[in-house]
Chains A and B, each alone.
Chain A
């Protein structure tokens, strides 16, 4: 049986599970049955994808007599599909395992179970589809199923609003993809990817397709400024669904972009790389900054997804730019970095959302200002959550660092690019990526420190209990993957080689055969990294330090009250909270980026009222794009009127700007 048939069988199986869910959802055993079946099916799909990549198998195609009359629905499993199928099924498997425990507490199972299978099936179909019609239908099916899951808790007005915004943005994205495929179909006269691939596109068409793909797929993935739905929708769903939405479905958006610009409409100019790269950099920094401002744990994680999507798009943009300039080897490196990050993010973001779900189950709280001290009552969840936090903060020796390291290596090879725009955009993006990495660490010190460390800030947090063993085992699997992919990254890079060879025509050197299992993207004299050695060194030197002290000095320990410079305050409200932790960064970046308004109302000595502190943080996308869109016309008329009454300084500014504009024109002219 060809591989693609097995894949389609899995997708069909998911749809059947969805239907079964609708039928038996009202019974109490339904959750176990549905999630158990999903787990089994996901494991089959996972095995299929993995074996496909390891065997370097040939792509296989199947045509089903569905869809448009006369053409049929085409499905194909190639290396790229297989990699994304791996991500989808890995997410599906761990989510189902987690839901075996977590999903039991669901109060409205009929609003979750039917759509769960449908959602997984839709995602599987998207990555397998090989013609424009089926990919759009499958994509829309996936979006609708996930929309139903987002509004599962329909009594919550926030969820309903999130669902509305999500629906509008998803439709907008589909519209853009529809237009992109329309252009491609017009050029080739056919709907299948194979025909589109064979057609040579004019440069204008290629640019238009790339732009539409970036907007369409970017709105599903959450690229700034099209991310507005994501931080609303992802937290609104039940936590295991949030993990799927954030960890997996955004990757399906990335898949759409990769499929179109790297495969179907492959002759792109370097400028589309420049746009993707720049957007990626901006997305990364804005995403993490906004995540830092949040105090709702799930919302923080959702915003952080935006950051990671930005990192992925930086890698994709670099790969596009290199490939368009004929530097296939480096393009393969950048693409490997991006896809490695796709895998990493699917792993650790699912893990963190599972952790957030566990916290939610144990305490009923998502607000970080009311959590704290959970490491004492939920020790196992704390360990895995800590591993997730460290990985996502790109700390060696874990996996998040490897993909960022690869991206940095690709950036460092880019002075060879001839286009002047890239010469400026690439180092600027490198700076943005470095900034995002550092801010991510701050963000997750805050997340772990406030939620799991310190003292409980509410009775619920103090009374929490460890979660069930299904949830824990799902989290442990993912945490193990974080560590393994971090210390043995060479194997993951080798699995990606069929994908890069299909899309860029080049592969990285075979990593598993490198001495000591280091990773060497280009040549050993240029750069190398060895997660395993770093891991061993860390362990050895830490143990050595501890052993020396315990053996030759003392190991006496005494427990006592908190010292706190001699003035310990008992009340847990005297601790640093999430808002206070983020305050310095809010001061440094906030005023410029978010238009933060801080209002302090401090009673004078002797006054008997309570003091108030209010912070307002606004998403620049709402502030600068969606809001002003409506108000712009009226304002422009008024603004023109004011031109007559400017100050000397403003006139000087205008002259200055005109000069700069002129110089820019001169620059562009040459």
Chain B
């Protein structure tokens, strides 16, 4: 198998990671959704390419699912939600943009470091892909904790899940059953989050999750 094929697989995995970093500093909700959709499409391409080079048609199903659900259905749904909530023009305060980026870079470095020593033995390409995947997972987590807006938190959560899929395809053969159950759990989580967002919205007239903290009486009022 020519090394160019692995290079392309790499390029797609790297693209997913870069889009995670891009996602990290988007401060508009709609832009974040679009970047997320782009990431899902890149992920689908990556998985599809893996299906081709590993000759595993089942992975193709995963790729199509990712493409359809996360590349189109969920982003469209999110756009609708955002529009209905009337927050599509909102600019979110990202906590310390530069610091977040640096933290993101450090996390990527950490994940590469973690998976580097073993990559000497065995399949180099797969390990480097897993390093990328771990990076995507950690960046998704980072995004969840640096955001106040419930919608962008959901996006962070789903980009985290993209990392899981990337890891699964790189590792050669996560069974489809696991795949599907992960996908379903994500879908359910999405629905739960959706309901949750509307609930906050109804009650507090905002989707900023800090209001929940205030409601619990934990956050001292400013001033």
Contact = CB atoms under 8 A, between A and B. Distances in A.
Q: Do chains A and B touch in the complex (CB under 8 A)?
A: yes
Interface of A: 420, 424, 588, 592, 645-649, 652-653, 656, 659-660, 663-664, 666-667, 670
Interface string B126-152: 000000000000100110110000000
10 contacts: A420-B117, A424-B109, A588-B98, A645-B218, A647-B213, A649-B145, A652-B144, A667-B110, A667-B113, A670-B117
A592 B109 contact: no
A648 B141 contact: no
Given A424-B109, A653-B145, A663-B110, A648 B116 contact: no
Contacts, number: 39
Contact of B116 (A420, A645, A652): A420
Contact of B212 (A424, A592, A648): A648
B117 A646 contact: no
Contact of A592 (B96, B110, B213): B96
A654 to B, nearest CB: 10
Given A652-B145, A663-B114, A647 B99 contact: no
A660 B110 contact: yes
B218 A646 contact: yes
A26 B88 CA distance: 79
B218 A656 contact: no
B36 to A, nearest CB: 20
Nearest to B214: A647
Contact of B141 (A645, A656, A666): A656
B110 A647 contact: no
B213 A648 contact: yes
B209 interface: yes
A177 B163 CA distance: 51
Interface string B204-223: 00000100110010110000
Contact of A647 (B142, B144, B219): B219
Contacts of A424: 109, 113
Nearest to B216: A647
A220 to B, nearest CB: 31
Nearest to A659: B141
Interface string B166-192: 000000000000000000000000000
Given A592-B96, A656-B145, A647 B114 contact: no
Nearest to B99: A592
Interface string B25-64: 0000000000000000000000000000000000000000
Interface string B100-131: 00000001011001101100000000000000
A412 B97 CA distance: 29
Contacts of A659: 141
Contacts of B213: 647-649
A666 B114 contact: yes
Contacts of A660: 107, 110, 138
Q: Could you say which of B98, B113, B114, B212 has the most chain A C-beta atoms within 10 Å of its C-beta?
A: B113
A649 B113 contact: no
Given A660-B107, A666-B114, 12 more contacts: A420-B116, A588-B98, A647-B213, A647-B219, A648-B209, A649-B145, A652-B144, A660-B110, A660-B138, A663-B110, A667-B113, A667-B114
A383 B7 CA distance: 54
Contacts of B99: 592
A592 B117 CA distance: 34
